[in-house]
Structure 1
Amino acid sequence: MRTTPTGDRSESERGSAVDVYDPASAEQLTASQRFDVVPSQARAREKLARALTMQAVVYGLPSVYQYASMCAQCAPAENGSNWKLGEFAHGRAIAGPGYQAFRVPNVDTLYSNAWLDLTDGPVCIELPDFGGRYYTLNFLDAYSNASNISARTHPGLRRFLVATPGWNGPVPAGFTLFRVATPLMWILMRIQVFDADDLPEVHRLQDSVTLHRPGDTRRPWPVVTQEQVEVSAEAFLTALDTSLRVNGVPIRDAAYVGQFRTLGVGSHRGGPVRSDAAIRRGAEAGFRDAMELLAQSRPLLGRPIGTGWTQVLDKGAHGDNFLARAVMNFVGLGANVVEENCSYNTYVDAHGAALDGSAGATYRIEMSVPPPAEAFWSITVYEADTGWLHDAPGARHSVGTATNIAHRRDDPWFITIGASAPANSDVWLPCPPKRFFLVLRIYQPGVDALTGRWTPPPVLPSVGPTFAQRDR
């Protein structure tokens, strides 16, 4: 057997005991000219559909959830009208109590969303001068793989031509070519905001980001809702079929995705799922199996670091880990790569008890070395049962280097967390009088954060042993 040398293996093959080869270099594999076999017995068809649908959901969930999100933001009110493609929808307010666009929002940046369709060619983007302010345009392809235009990735550059790999036209003078993987791209823009007084300047910067989009954005795409794709195999597979037809699939995934033609996904003639009762039953069962699997896999996204905190792993960089990719997007869309935003969360104090602001409980975080950040860092409080921000005194939902707290950047931080203001504390972070959790975000993290040489210290309760004391 002719094998690919170990050094030439793709990321997905590293660590595998199975050698790989290119079938195009041999004469044993030829393409079939017919549709794959479908069992004649109804029970067998149901089992086949159940297995295939479970795989289709795990593989396709990022595409489907992003497609549903695009429908919610861009679909026209009437069929045949233009979709709102190639234009930004700007969030104008800092997230606070009642903000429910999505759970666990940061309060460090304002969000803007745009959806691009590059089927007919590239799109030009022009940026203002952000000065020293943090910003990023987070590009997510149809499979939630993330890339960025930011001060980290493109310092000093402000004009970009966004194009797919198959486009080979001329790049206008003064523009930088920025390649993306799929025709449908989601841009999640984040611009740093310091406080309410800073909002007019951030609004000016948002409005100064320009997209030059095609004039005709009418599309024959079906419209689905997030609620539908979360409960219905039929809606999920309809959205997946549309996304695959528009975006295509990575070449190394083609054979895997080709199995889904039996479900009517990606087939020229359509599959039997629309008319065969046995396959419909199997598809619904496989859909439920997949959703149960994803829900049970949520705890595996993070890596406990031994102080009560969990580090979120592989954000926006998934490779061929289809299950991890699906779980990440099942929890929430729009995850960026760790090089742009490294994050940790904790629901417990230093001895493993739930963080709870009731009955006057207080906590303390003692950071002799603050988080290593090239941009800035923040710690934010959220209600444990909802993921929303609580009604904090003075709208103080976070502390960190970008908040208006008299504190030198590299000095030690001693943070008191409690429902009521302490008599004496360097920094007070209000919490709700109920269970809560904390998220630490490091924007453009330094090397020590990326390598794990720096980790957040435990959240110390007002009474009780620390993690280290408990484990002795």
Structure 2
Amino acid sequence: MIKNRRALFSSYWTCASFAGLALLSGCASTPTATQKSTGWIKDEVADSYVFGYPLVLMGVARDAAVGTEPGQAPLNTLRHAQALPPIGAANPRQPSLDTLDSTGWLDVASEPVIVALPDSHGRYVDARVLDMWTNVVWSTSDQFPTRAAGIKAQAIAFVGPGWKGDLPKNVKRVDVPTRNAWVSVRIQSNGTRDLSAVRKLQRAIRVAPLSVYTGEARSAASEPSRSNADASAPAGASGTPAAQVAALDANGFFSRLAQSLADNPPEPADPHALKILADLGVKPGEAVKLPVGSDAIAAGLADGHDRVVTPPTNLLMGNGWSWFGDGVGNYGPDYALRAYAAYAQPGIGTKDDEVRAVVTQDSDGHVLNGANRYVIHFAPNQLPPVRGFWSITAYTKDGALGESAPARLAVGDRNGARRNRDGSLDVTVSSTRGRSGNWLPAPRADMQLVLRLYAPKPQAADGTWQPPAVVRQ
């Protein structure tokens, strides 16, 4: 299991990696061409796949979301969700029932892009911007850790590399290390009767390039730059961005990575990773020339796939649940955590934005199934530690909302969850209603539960708090 840059690229520093260079002290002999083609290629393909996965995934997600077709929006424009997600598998994995989301893609290559947020008048708002390597470059948690009381009006200028100039007064500058960035604004919703108030706040959000914001130019819809355009996706590519990336062969994956690297250099800068990619014939902005050795390349690609979808050892786990801890959102050289987070929870923020715990088994290790009845017992001192609010939602094993579930699908502290006399709280999970007032409807099939903590307290991410076990009755 790879956990950091040193572990990730340890294979690079082996004697085999230096075939053709001066003989290093401690190496008995120069490796043969056969050894090189069957040894270093597999390892470096796998390591480089893990390293580049978030950038390729973000590029695929951007290309799917940017445009003028239904469900898309031009660059530097937000697309607003207008209603809570309907039941069915066509939705994104694990859709939230607590907020309406406004999302978009920024292009800061030529000038800064301003994001102006309105006063939410006490309503919870979580906004964040991620660079193309999935690091969080800005979040409302930076200024409003107690977002349960809402946020104040503000304007932020997201500035690309190398830009120099003046910004309007009272506009905060945030530097973005990549050409593109992803912005998400999530506004608390209190059910269908509350949607008009949420939509009013959505309409008050403004996103515009600096020249448009100041009135010097008119707004113009734009598409992804040619250097960022996907020239290697499979014909008829469909499905989630993660599914599209998984369908890419080695040449397709590394071609996308090479093109994206031209405008989106690694963050943090990592010359060793770029050197390994160059060994494989992958250079920013250039056509890919992978080495000869199809079996080794295929084996490395398969290994990279497995690593991306395997939870790293520094994921927090307890009572069957798993969740991200302190390192999420700002990964540094922890490439394994970064790749898995991009795969498992796309767009995830920092530990101060949200904690999302997932469980798929009961306390006896059996797969959860809505045909059974389960109880989650929160002791008085074990309730989710939040500054905002929390909720639990049941999904199918694939992360979709169950087809047979009723309209109210989440249980939490803001929708009438009742405590016991001693201050504890029990949530009953089943496909059929029971006597418990805190009933969480579930699909009558194998399922997963997601516990969301909005504006969590520190103990939710440092391991001192754990969700209780899911016990079958």
Return the TM-score normalized by structure 2. 0.78
- The answer to whether the 8 A contact 2:418-2:425 is kept is no
1:153 and 2:160 correspond = no
Check if 1:91 corresponds to 2:81.
yes
Between 119-128 and 441-450, the greater mean CA deviation after superposition: 441-450
Distance 1:298 1:418 in 2: 28
Alpha-carbon distance change, 279 to 446 in structure 1, aligned in 2, over 3 angstroms: same
Confirm or deny: 8 A CA contact 1:183 1:246 kept in the other structure. Answer: yes
**Aligned with 1:388 (options 380, 400, 407):** 400
Cα deviation, 1:219-274, whole Å, max 9, x if unaligned, reads 2133235455323111111111121101122464023213312444325764533x
| Paired AA for residue 171 in structure 1 | L
1:265 aligns with 2:282: yes
Is it true that 1:136 corresponds to 2:152 in the alignment?
Answer: no
How do 1:56-67 residues align onto structure 2 when only pairs under 5 Å count? 56-67=48-59
Match 2:412 to one of 373, 390, 400: 400
In the alignment, is the contact (CA less than 8 A) between 2:119 and 2:153 conserved in 1?
no
Distance in 2 separating the partners of 1:436 and 1:430: 11
Cα distance in 1 for partners of 2:177, 2:74 equals: 21
Q: Distance in 1 between matches of 2:5 and 2:246?
A: 32
Unaligned runs of 5+ in 1: 1-10, 16-38, 463-472
Structure-2 change in CA distance of 1:176 and 1:67 (3 Å): same
Classify the secondary structure of the residue corresponding to 2:356: strand
Tell me whether 1:217 sits opposite 2:191 in the alignment. no
Q: For the structure 1 residues 113 and 83, does the alpha-carbon distance in structure 2 shift closer, same or farther, using more than 3 Å as the test?
A: closer
Q: Is there any run of 5+ residues in structure 2 with no aligned partner, and where?
A: 8-30, 145-150, 210-218
Residue 294 of structure 1 aligns to which amino acid in structure 2? V
Q: Which moved more, 1:222-231 or 1:425-434?
A: 222-231
Query: Partner of 2:370 in structure 1?
Result: 357
- Select the residue among 246, 250, 260 that pairs with 1:230: 246
1:184 and 2:195 correspond: no
**Could you tell me how far apart the structure 1 residues matched to 2:460 and 2:279 are?**
46
Residue 137 of structure 2 contacts residue 174 of structure 2 at CA under 8 Å; is this kept in 1? Answer: no
Give yes or no for contact 1:163–1:180 (8 Å, CA) kept in 2. yes
Q: Secondary structure at the match of 1:460?
A: strand
Deviation at 1:12, TM superposition (A): 7.1
CA contact (8 A) 1:96 1:107 kept: no
CA–CA distance in structure 2, aligned partners of residues 239 and 76 of structure 1? 23
Aligned-partner Cα distance in 2 for 1:50–1:447: 40
1:89: how far off? 1.4
Q: Distance in 1 between matches of 2:43 and 2:364?
A: 43
Aligned to 2:389: 376
Counterpart residue number, 1:107: 97
Greater alpha carbon shift after TM alignment, 249-258 vs 200-209: 249-258
> Counterpart of 2:185 in 1: which secondary structure?
strand
Q: Which amino acid aligns with 1:176?
A: K
Distance in 1 of aligned mates of 2:32 and 2:73: 42
Q: Which amino acid aligns with 1:63?
A: L
Give the letter for the 2:346 counterpart.
L
Structure 1 position 62, deviation (Å):
0.1
In the TM superposition, what are the counterparts of 1:273-422 in structure 2 within 5 Å? 273=290, 278=292, 282-295=296-309, 297-298=310-311, 300=313, 302-305=315-318, 307-313=319-325, 314-358=327-371, 361-369=373-381, 370-384=383-397, 386-391=398-403, 393-403=405-415, 412-422=424-434
Say if 1:349 and 1:355, in contact at 8 Å, map to a contact too: yes
What amino acid is aligned across from residue 401 of structure 2 in structure 1? L
State the one-letter code of the partner of 1:383. Answer: T
1:22-37 matches, cutoff 5 A: none
The 3 A distance-change label for structure 1 pair 174 and 357 is same
Contact preservation (8 Å) 2:262, 2:284: no
Query: What is residue 65 of structure 2 aligned with on the other side?
Result: 73
Distance 1:51 1:420, change over 3 A: closer
Distance 1:406 1:131, change over 3 A: farther
C-alpha RMSD of matched pairs (Å): 3.3
Q: Report deviation, 1:282.
A: 4.6
2:263 to 242, 246, 269: 246
d(CA) in 2 for partners of 1:83, 1:97:
24
Residues 270 and 303 (structure 1 numbering): CA distance in 2 closer, same or farther, change over 3 Å?
A: same
Runs of 4+ in 1 over 6 A off after TM superposition: 11-15
Gap change, CA 1:411 and 1:86, over 3 Å in 2? farther
Deviates more, 1:366-375 or 1:316-325: 366-375
Shift in CA distance, 327/120, structure 1 to aligned 2, threshold 3 Å:
same
TM-score by length of 1: 0.78
- Report deviation, 1:450: 3.6
Percent identical residues: 26
